[in-house]
Amino acid sequence: MLSKKSQYAFKALAYLAIKYNQGPVLISEIAKKKKIPLKFLENILLELKKAGILDSKKGKGGGYFLNKSPEKVKMATVIRLINGPIAMLPCVSLYFYERCKNCDEKHCGLHDMMLEVRDATLNIVENRTLKDLIV
């Protein structure tokens, strides 16, 4: 399951995607429109900024805005950043890989199955972007 934080992140990003190229948007505006706790949203947006997805401007007329066009931000990137691994097991994760203890990956039915699941999932989230959040 995606954490609430991830859901907030996607709501905020969807909002910023709609407002792309229209200048900075206040955290408070996003929080209000998307009904996200303000201070919690601050943390999320800052994290997205540090990852290079968003940028910000301080002072009057400041706020947050997308650092690149919506179709260039992959869903997979955001999920990994805010939610963590996409795979169901560490031993089949690309970005959070960890070797299985007491289990030979070459002969593990669970491993094989979870690898399939991962690929099926990646096939979707690696090929969808913030643009697809706008309907």
Partner DNA sequence: AAAATAGCCTACCAAGACGATAGACTATTT
Partner DNA sequence: AAATAGTCTATCGTCTTGGTAGGCTATTTT
Number of residues that bind a copy of itself (CB under 8 A): 37
Q: At what angle do helices 27-34 and 38-50 cross, to 10 degrees?
A: 120
Which of DNA, a copy of itself, none does residue 115 bind (CB under 5 to 8 Å by kind)?
Answer: none
Binding site for DNA (CB under 7 A): 3-5, 8, 24-28, 37-40, 42-43, 45-46, 49-50, 56-64, 84
Query: Among 35, 39, 60, 99, which residue interacts with a copy of itself (rule: CB under 8 A)?
Result: 35
- Please, which residue, 49 or 131, has the CB nearer to DNA? 49
Q: Vertex 102, ends 96 and 103: CA angle to 5°?
A: 70
**Among 61, 86, 122, CA closest to 2:** 86
Binders of a copy of itself among 39-98, rule CB under 8 A?
Answer: 75, 84-85, 87-90
CA pair distance 126, 116, nearest whole angstrom: 15
